[in-house]
A and B are shown apart, each in its own frame.
Chain A
Amino acid sequence: MSDAMSRPGTLVGQRVLRVNDGKLLTGAGTFVDDLHLPGTLHAVVLRSPIAHGRLVAFDAAEALTMPGVVDVLAPEEARDATRPLRCVWLMPGQGQVDYPVVPRVVRHVGQALGVLLATSVAAAEDGAERVRMEFEELPCVVDVEAALGDAAPQLDPGCPGNVAVDLPRGDPPDAVEAAIARADHVVAMRFAIQRLAGSPLEARGVVASWSPATGELTMWSSTQVPHHARDHLAGALGLALDRVRVVAPDVGGGFGPKDHLYADEVLVCLAAMRARVPVKWIEDRREAFTATVHGREQIHEARLAFDDDGRFVALHSDVLADLGAHPSNVGAGPAFVATGMLEGPYRFDSSGGRVRGVLTNKTPAGAYRGFGMQQAAWVRERLVDEAARTLGADPAELRRRNMIRADELPYTTHTHQNYDSGDYAAALERATELVGEGLPAAPDDGRRRGVGLCSYVEFTGLGPSAVQEIVGFALGGYETAVVRVEPDGRATVLTGVSPHGQGLETSLAQLAADALGLPITDVRVVHGDTATAPYSAAGTIASRSMTVGGGAVVRAAGRLRVKILDLAGHLLEAAPGDLEIIQGVVQVRGSPTAAVPLRTVAEKAWLAWGLPPGMAPGLEEKDLHDPQDISYSYATHAAAVAVDLATGRIEIERYVVVHDCGVIVNPMIVDGQTHGGVAQGIGNALLETLVYDDVGQPRIATFHDYVLPGTGEVPDMVVEHTQTPSPFIPGGMKGMGEGGTIAPAAAIGNALANAVPEIAHLVTETPMTPARVWGWLDAAGVATDW
């Protein structure tokens, strides 16, 4: 096996064009709203218009008289027919561990209460306007710090003081405090990270179809996690798992929020079971802002302690995570990761933190690309720059001095991260070099200019299952691949991961094609349907598809290669070790006339005629890959900005990424993921924020209110890679889907502080909109009149 696998491939590392672009470019993709099943009814989810209150009356009588309205699933009915959805990531002592599909007391605007079905979406909306709901309103709390106050309304009996989770992280608090006390200097700052909406351009949506004859429920869903959704759907409805099928058709982006089953999706399925016809529900954009989990919102009280000579001594952050109305599937997970990855690429004598997950009357916060690591980078890298300012040191030099050296890896951090491999300082070096190159001589336009860095280490490839168990994240951390050479000599790869834009249809095919000696066009990746895909507990989340899922493909395809060579050797009367597979033909190395087409080998294998003694029929291998350990990607980003002192507007003049995600299977795709991640990071840094008023009403309903970056806000960027293979993943890949998102706020914030040192101590909040930055400039007396 090792021989077969060590053969250098021809496709891995190549810029292979994506195999599924054709359908997407011609409008032939099938997204969930593109399904037209005969007889489909259209659902509107009835939602809470208030932030906190008890539903005391529900009356759909008038709605049911409206033209086209067919059925209304009332809250009581839905409650009786469903079981609560469980939180998947449970922290020790978590005060609320599940949430009802339909609550008696609503805790946020947009919480699902029922479903109305009609013959068209418009008719359903007409009907929904006539459904009367009365609430006994309760006082609400919107601000996370207010939620901790004595006077705050209490949202959940299991969470006294609205604290759902309270956890120490890293070294014991005394040890961290002692280390801080020992240091020559401490920078202490309070950072606030805003609430964001992941906003995949295709919002959520499901089509549900129930077959009374077979008792089978099928849900087509715009999801990242078909199996995970299936398991929870069956659980919520009390169905056997083998009667529930979930299909992810083409999915228009995910970015985290589509990582679990939602209560409203359960309701739509329930409505379909009652209606006995297919039901479609497509989340509209306004709805998405309150119905789909949010991300990010945290407050960090953070301290970095260091000595006169610039040596980092200790790091600590006390984190308040605004969980929203109830712990989501991942609950305080992002804050757990934020503290877990706080140390980044540096050495400290001591490090730790405290995580408090707090309930408020807002939409629950869940997974969003970066998952706590964005916050960690923002907090740490801003502190590092302020430490440099305190010492009068060069920020790059200070980083370099404290970075874990290549020869110190593997290295275990104070939060038990086992950093695997790489050369963090090399990325820093190169990014620092590149950001200076090609920077135009600054015109004398009255703006200030500055450069900022952000170095980080990224936890990728969620797994191993044993680690998941330790941290209480109830998702198996493995992936399965089935690789089959069909009787016609073409290959099929079945995978449990579920791509939605990441191009795994191509990159997983590259892995298999290389092992099997096939052209990429002869390999087909099949995914996204629980009826055909191997079981995947976690799906496509957490930058794990290429590491955990790809590792499974590497191993399955590698084993299949061995079998092919054994059988071909038998047919050719040659030693398997002398054979190679080139473009679908197995041949003796160096003598191409002694050859047999893979197709012939496959025919024989599937006929099971004339196999060598002991060889099993068929050409199919399955691998269940539970990775040996986590893989840690890393990068340094560098931003050069110009700051208008009169308006506070920040312009990014140059953006550089130097990144290492292990072995790169497809550089084109990796660059694309990085660009997209950086764009979301720029949104995080400069534009996006979800705002509520003080009675818990969202002030965001449209893309005018919630400002996503457009082409005008995202510059072209320089992206370079180094490739340090993961020692733990077959194939050497590390995860990279989230990386781009992690660093931009810190790099841009540091650039701003570098450009205008007078406001450096104020650069603690995102988004850094012109108005906010001007507020800082004004407070520091550096704002100009024009």
Chain B
Amino acid sequence: MKPPPFRYHDPRTVEEALGLLAEHGDEARLLAGGQSLVPLLNLRRVRPRVLIDLNRVEGLDGVDAGAGVVRTGALARAVGVERAPAVASALPVLPEALLHVAYPQVRTRTTIGGNVAHADPAAELPAVLAAVGGDVRLRSAGGQRTLGWSAFFSGRHRTACRPDEMVVAVDFPVAEGFAYTFSELTPKLGSFAIVGACVGLSRSGDEVTGARIALCGVADTPVRLQAAEQRLTGGAVDAAALEDVRALVAGAIDPPGDLHAPGGYRSHVAGVLVVRGLRRLWGAPA
């Protein structure tokens, strides 16, 4: 299990990296944390002609939590984000979800940009990005653009990032008054989720003023559950609401099965995780 041959570049600046991308297009792959790409290389499931290693590119590893948004540079490592006090106070669900990503020894390399660019259907972070309504910032030699999460994730391991583009930053907006929780069911501690749920609520007294629910592991891309969110908004999180939400979750998804669980099970567990998340956030027995 050794990588196939490739040409290797390790540019120092974003411009250089973008220049290489422009030159090599879809023959090239960007290498960030390598925690997904290098296993794929070792298994020879991908065989890029050119590898552009971003790890020596300056200025892409910032983590900034201010002005209503947590902005992480594409090269920010998962451990750095999960241990940054400013992130923990601005958007605690981000470190909470990151703790579910693999293991500490893998998170020392895992990058936020690489994680969203890899677009694994079971990945936690894309679900968080979906729940908070986040954006992905892209650059190419020709310019830059920002895509909302739903425009960015286009399929299983597919994104709207063009071959000449790279992710430079990921924005997680911090909505006033929202509290979130993330939970998942995995085959074992630390492995990819069978299903994961990121649930957020804002409330005024006994009334839900806003709900955000996103899932991973149930479709090719992260899924936002708008119907369930609408059902919750304006009322209390009571038994009737939860029962409706559960049905709405099941109605909104049709997960495929895999080695670890059939689709029907995933669909059911999605409902369980959402309901439990809501109950945890609401606090009162429902």
- Chain A residues near B (Cβ < 8 Å): 120-122, 125-126, 129, 284-286, 646-649, 687, 691, 699-702, 704-705, 707-713, 769-771, 774-775, 778, 783, 785-786
Known: A713-B188, A770-B185, A785-B275. A286 touches B246 (CB 8 A): no
Partner of A121, one of B2, B188, B246: B2
In the complex, chain A residues whose CB is within 8 Å of the CB of B189: 710-713
| B104 interfacial by beta-carbon distance below 8 Å | no
| Shortest CB distance A462–B (Å) | 33
Q: With A and B bound together, what is the CA distance between A708 and B188 in angstroms?
A: 8
Partner of B275, one of A704, A770, A786: A786
| Shortest CB distance A204–B (Å) | 14
| Shortest CB distance B232–A (Å) | 15
| Shortest CB distance B263–A (Å) | 10
Partner of A125, one of B44, B271, B279: B44
| Shortest CB distance A386–B (Å) | 26
In the complex, chain B residues whose CB is within 8 Å of the CB of A786: 242, 246, 271-272, 275-276, 279
Interface segment among B144-152, B199-207, B223-231, B254-262: the answer is: B254-262
Q: With A and B bound together, what is the CA distance between A129 and B2 in angstroms?
A: 12
In the complex, chain A residues whose CB is within 8 Å of the CB of B259: 691, 699-700, 705
Could you show 9 A-B contacts with beta carbons less than 8 Å apart?
A122-B2, A284-B1, A647-B269, A705-B259, A769-B260, A770-B265, A774-B265, A778-B268, A785-B271
Known: A646-B272, A647-B185. A771 touches B246 (CB 8 A): no
| B246-286 interface with A by 8 A CB criterion | 246, 259-262, 265, 268-269, 271-272, 275-276, 279
| B1-25 interface with A by 8 A CB criterion | 1-5
Give the nearest-CB partner of B279 in chain A: A786
| B43 interfacial by beta-carbon distance below 8 Å | yes
In the complex, chain B residues whose CB is within 8 Å of the CB of A699: 259
In the complex, chain A residues whose CB is within 8 Å of the CB of B39: 702
Known: A704-B192, A775-B265. A785 touches B185 (CB 8 A): no
Complex contact A710–B190 (CB within 8 A)? yes
Complex contact B272–A126 (CB within 8 A)? no
Known: A284-B1, A786-B276. A712 touches B268 (CB 8 A): no
- Interface contacts beyond A712-B188, A770-B261: sample of 10 additional A-B pairs, CB < 8 Å, sorted by A: A122-B3, A285-B1, A701-B43, A704-B192, A707-B188, A710-B188, A712-B189, A774-B268, A774-B269, A786-B276
Partner of B185, one of A125, A649, A704, A708: A649
Q: With A and B bound together, what is the CA distance between A24 and B154 in angstroms?
A: 48
Give the nearest-CB partner of A706 in chain B: B259
Known: A125-B2, A126-B4, A646-B272. A771 touches B188 (CB 8 A): no
| Shortest CB distance A289–B (Å) | 12
- Chain B residues near A (Cβ < 8 Å): 1-5, 39, 43-44, 185, 187-192, 194, 242-243, 246, 259-262, 265, 268-269, 271-272, 275-276, 279
Q: With A and B bound together, what is the CA distance between A771 and B267 in angstroms?
A: 11
Give the nearest-CB partner of A711 in chain B: B189
Complex contact A687–B188 (CB within 8 A)? yes
Complex contact B246–A785 (CB within 8 A)? yes
| Shortest CB distance B156–A (Å) | 15
5 smallest beta-carbon distances between A and B, as pairs: A712-B189, A122-B2, A786-B275, A771-B261, A284-B1
In the complex, chain A residues whose CB is within 8 Å of the CB of B242: 786
Which residue, A286, A701, A713, A771, has most C-beta atoms of chain B within 10 A? A771
Q: With A and B bound together, what is the CA distance between A646 and B269 in angstroms?
A: 8
In the complex, chain A residues whose CB is within 8 Å of the CB of B185: 647, 649, 770
Q: With A and B bound together, what is the CA distance between A705 and B246 in angstroms?
A: 29
| Shortest CB distance B99–A (Å) | 13
| Shortest CB distance B21–A (Å) | 26
Q: With A and B bound together, what is the CA distance between A648 and B3 in angstroms?
A: 39
In the complex, chain B residues whose CB is within 8 Å of the CB of A120: 2
In the complex, chain A residues whose CB is within 8 Å of the CB of B3: 122
Q: With A and B bound together, what is the CA distance between A699 and B257 in angstroms?
A: 13
Partner of B265, one of A702, A710, A771: A771
Give the nearest-CB partner of B274 in chain A: A786
Give the nearest-CB partner of A691 in chain B: B259
In the complex, chain A residues whose CB is within 8 Å of the CB of B191: 704, 707
Which residue, B185, B242, B275, has most C-beta atoms of chain A within 10 A? B185
Q: With A and B bound together, what is the CA distance between A770 and B242 in angstroms?
A: 23
Known: A647-B269, A771-B261, A771-B262. A286 touches B188 (CB 8 A): no
Which residue, B1, B189, B190, has most C-beta atoms of chain A within 10 A? B1
In the complex, chain B residues whose CB is within 8 Å of the CB of A708: 188
Give the nearest-CB partner of A700 in chain B: B259
Known: A785-B275, A786-B246, A786-B271. A126 touches B188 (CB 8 A): no
Q: With A and B bound together, what is the CA distance between A646 and B268 in angstroms?
A: 8
Q: With A and B bound together, what is the CA distance between A77 and B23 in angstroms?
A: 47
| Shortest CB distance A706–B (Å) | 9
Q: With A and B bound together, what is the CA distance between A774 and B185 in angstroms?
A: 13
In the complex, chain B residues whose CB is within 8 Å of the CB of A704: 191-192
Give the nearest-CB partner of A712 in chain B: B189
Q: With A and B bound together, what is the CA distance between A285 and B42 in angstroms?
A: 11
| Shortest CB distance A374–B (Å) | 20
In the complex, chain A residues whose CB is within 8 Å of the CB of B44: 125, 129
Q: With A and B bound together, what is the CA distance between A455 and B185 in angstroms?
A: 32
| Shortest CB distance A713–B (Å) | 6
| Shortest CB distance B72–A (Å) | 25
| Shortest CB distance B272–A (Å) | 5
In the complex, chain B residues whose CB is within 8 Å of the CB of A702: 39, 43
Q: With A and B bound together, what is the CA distance between A125 and B1 in angstroms?
A: 8
Which residue, A120, A286, A704, A778, has most C-beta atoms of chain B within 10 A? A704
Q: With A and B bound together, what is the CA distance between A646 and B242 in angstroms?
A: 14
| Shortest CB distance B2–A (Å) | 4
| Shortest CB distance A109–B (Å) | 16
Q: With A and B bound together, what is the CA distance between A775 and B261 in angstroms?
A: 10
Q: With A and B bound together, what is the CA distance between A783 and B260 in angstroms?
A: 19
| Shortest CB distance B244–A (Å) | 12
Partner of B187, one of A129, A691, A769, A775: A769
Q: With A and B bound together, what is the CA distance between A136 and B217 in angstroms?
A: 39
In the complex, chain B residues whose CB is within 8 Å of the CB of A647: 185, 269, 272
Q: With A and B bound together, what is the CA distance between A775 and B271 in angstroms?
A: 16
Complex contact B43–A286 (CB within 8 A)? yes
In the complex, chain B residues whose CB is within 8 Å of the CB of A122: 2-3, 5
Give the nearest-CB partner of B42 in chain A: A284
Q: With A and B bound together, what is the CA distance between A126 and B1 in angstroms?
A: 11
| Shortest CB distance B121–A (Å) | 13
| Shortest CB distance A642–B (Å) | 15
Give the nearest-CB partner of A446 in chain B: B276
Q: With A and B bound together, what is the CA distance between A646 and B272 in angstroms?
A: 7
| Shortest CB distance A404–B (Å) | 39
In the complex, chain B residues whose CB is within 8 Å of the CB of A284: 1
In the complex, chain A residues whose CB is within 8 Å of the CB of B261: 769-771
Give the nearest-CB partner of B266 in chain A: A771
| Shortest CB distance A303–B (Å) | 31
| Shortest CB distance B253–A (Å) | 16
Give the nearest-CB partner of B5 in chain A: A126
| Shortest CB distance B183–A (Å) | 11
| Shortest CB distance B4–A (Å) | 7
Q: With A and B bound together, what is the CA distance between A708 and B243 in angstroms?
A: 36
Q: With A and B bound together, what is the CA distance between A585 and B112 in angstroms?
A: 67
Complex contact B188–A709 (CB within 8 A)? yes
Q: With A and B bound together, what is the CA distance between A647 and B260 in angstroms?
A: 13
| Shortest CB distance B219–A (Å) | 18
| Shortest CB distance A414–B (Å) | 40
Q: With A and B bound together, what is the CA distance between A691 and B257 in angstroms?
A: 14
Q: With A and B bound together, what is the CA distance between A774 and B263 in angstroms?
A: 13
Q: With A and B bound together, what is the CA distance between A90 and B279 in angstroms?
A: 61
| Shortest CB distance A682–B (Å) | 11
Q: With A and B bound together, what is the CA distance between A676 and B2 in angstroms?
A: 31
| Shortest CB distance B274–A (Å) | 8
Q: With A and B bound together, what is the CA distance between A284 and B4 in angstroms?
A: 15
Q: With A and B bound together, what is the CA distance between A647 and B276 in angstroms?
A: 12
Q: With A and B bound together, what is the CA distance between A705 and B39 in angstroms?
A: 14
In the complex, chain B residues whose CB is within 8 Å of the CB of A649: 185
